[in-house]
């Protein structure tokens, strides 16, 4: 058996010496150190040897295995070096070719749309006002005409944050903290800031309130737990629904084209009265009806209405003297309509293949 091991080692090393490429090396490995190789057959037959022969043959077989594996490693490195040298000698590099273009980052599509909306509103005289994302129940709901148990609260499931864990989850009795469900709390804060210096004669305001909103909803192709919103607010003496219609019609034409047609539908929001949904004629089919507009010819783009007297009063403006209008829109929804995007989850999935298209 010892003589056989010497023959196996000698034959393996002689055959390895003529190996010159990777495929031949792989074949040598299988033939000489693989499971069915002669060397492995020796290991498999150790059980049939006597107690005296087994340790001697086993040690010799292990030594042969160590020698073959070391030779294999050395040969493998030599083959790799030979392949690299051949590649460097035969392949050419044209140093005059232009380099690879650097992949430059860009603004997120939601940010691009947000800036476009704010740019249009700025041209129309609206100033940008930023408000906090973490709000109190009072500012997010109560000051906007949502009573503590108002059924309209069910329209917006909320992320409540318990300041005192012993108070219980989502407790509304002690004005808990929550992630804002809309940008509308900024209306109250903006009006209070404007009226603080002159409560008797607060100045007129015309602002745009952008920001992220959060709602505790089931994530689907049509709804997300976070989304961008832009709110508009104008308060002053003598403002009418006609001003609201003129402003939103002008906005729609600047956003979707000078020939864009707009319609207003009666709706309900607790903080406006009267309230209206605003639709723009489908810019995909021109109002004829298609899959994007669900064959209606119209696309809903925002909600609006005249500021409710209670909201004006909570903001420090006398509703008998002042009036105002407000509107709110979702930037992701506008992008979905304009680009025929069917799943809102694409915006926050961070898939570069999607983001690169913008």
- DSSP notation for 163-217: SSGGG-TT--TT--EEE-SSSTHHHHHHHHHHHHS-SSSPPPEEEEEEEEEE---
Mark which of 30, 57, 90 sits at the end of a domain.
90
Q: Evaluate whether residue 95 is within a structural domain.
A: no
| Model pLDDT, residue 266 | 94
Distant-in-sequence contacts of 40-48, Cβ < 8 A, 24+ apart: 42/1, 42/4, 42/5, 42/8
| Model pLDDT, residue 335 | 86
Residue corresponding to tokens 């232009």? 98
| Model pLDDT, residue 156 | 61
The number of folded domains in the chain is 2
CB 244 within 8 A of CB 325: yes
Residues whose CB is less than 8 angstroms from the CB of residue 133 and which lie 6 or more positions away in sequence, other chains included:
179, 180, 211, 212, 214
Q: Evaluate whether residue 219 is within a structural domain.
A: yes
Q: Which two tokens stand for residue 110?
A: 């939601």
Same domain membership, residue 279 and residue 162: yes
Same domain membership, residue 113 and residue 16: no
Instruction: Tell me the percentage of the chain whose pLDDT exceeds 70.
Output: 94
Q: What is the CATH number of the domain that holds 229?
A: 3.30.930.10
| Model pLDDT, residue 203 | 95
Cα torsion 69, 75, 79, 84: sign? positive
Mark which of 90, 118, 135 sits at the end of a domain.
90
Give the predicted TM-score (pTM) of the model.
0.66
Give the SS3 label for residue 26.
helix
Q: With a cut of 50, which residues of the chain have pLDDT below it?
A: 165, 168-171
| Domain extent for 69 | 2-90
Q: Evaluate whether residue 312 is within a structural domain.
A: yes
Same domain membership, residue 277 and residue 192: yes
């Amino acid at each position: 058996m010892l003589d056989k091991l010497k023959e196996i080692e000698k034959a393996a090393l002689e055959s390895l010496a003529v190996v010159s490429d990777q495929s031949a090396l792989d074949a040598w490995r299988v033939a000489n150190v693989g499971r069915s190789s002669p060397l492995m057959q020796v290991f498999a037959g150790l059980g049939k040897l006597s107690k005296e022969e087994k340790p001697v043959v086993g040690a010799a077989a292990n030594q042969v295995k160590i020698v073959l594996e070391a030779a294999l490693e050395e040969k493998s490195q030599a083959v790799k070096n030979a392949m690299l040298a051949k590649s460097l000698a035969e392949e050419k590099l044209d140093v005059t070719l232009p380099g690879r273009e650097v992949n430059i980052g860009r603004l997120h599509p939601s940010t691009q749309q947000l800036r476009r909306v704010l740019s249009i509103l700025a041209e129309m005289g609206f100033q940008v006002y930023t408000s906090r994302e973490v709000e109190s129940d009072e500012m997010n709901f109560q000051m906007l005409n949502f009573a503590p148990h108002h059924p309209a609260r069910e329209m917006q499931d909320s992320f409540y944050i318990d300041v005192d864990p012993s108070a219980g989850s989502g407790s509304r009795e002690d004005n808990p903290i929550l992630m804002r469900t809309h940008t509308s709390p900024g209306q109250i804060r903006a009006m209070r800031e404007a009226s603080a210096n002159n409560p008797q004669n607060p100045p007129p305001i015309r602002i745009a309130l952008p920001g992220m909103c959060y709602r505790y909803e089931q994530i689907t192709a049509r709804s997300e737990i976070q989304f961008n919103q832009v709110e508009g607010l104008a308060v002053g003496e003598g403002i009418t629904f006609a001003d609201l219609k003129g402003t939103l019609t002008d906005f729609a034409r600047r956003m979707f084209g000078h020939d864009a047609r707009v319609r207003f539908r009666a709706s309900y929001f607790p903080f406006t009265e009267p309230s209206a949904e605003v639709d723009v004629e489908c810019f995909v089919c021109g109002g004829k009806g298609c899959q994007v507009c669900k064959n209606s010819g119209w696309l809903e783009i925002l909600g609006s209405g005249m500021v409710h007297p209670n909201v004006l009063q909570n903001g420090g403006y006398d509703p008998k003297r002042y009036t105002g209008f407000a509107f709110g829109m979702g930037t992701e929804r506008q992008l979905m309509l304009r680009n025929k995007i069917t799943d809102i989850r694409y915006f926050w999935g961070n898939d570069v293949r999607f983001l690169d298209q913008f």
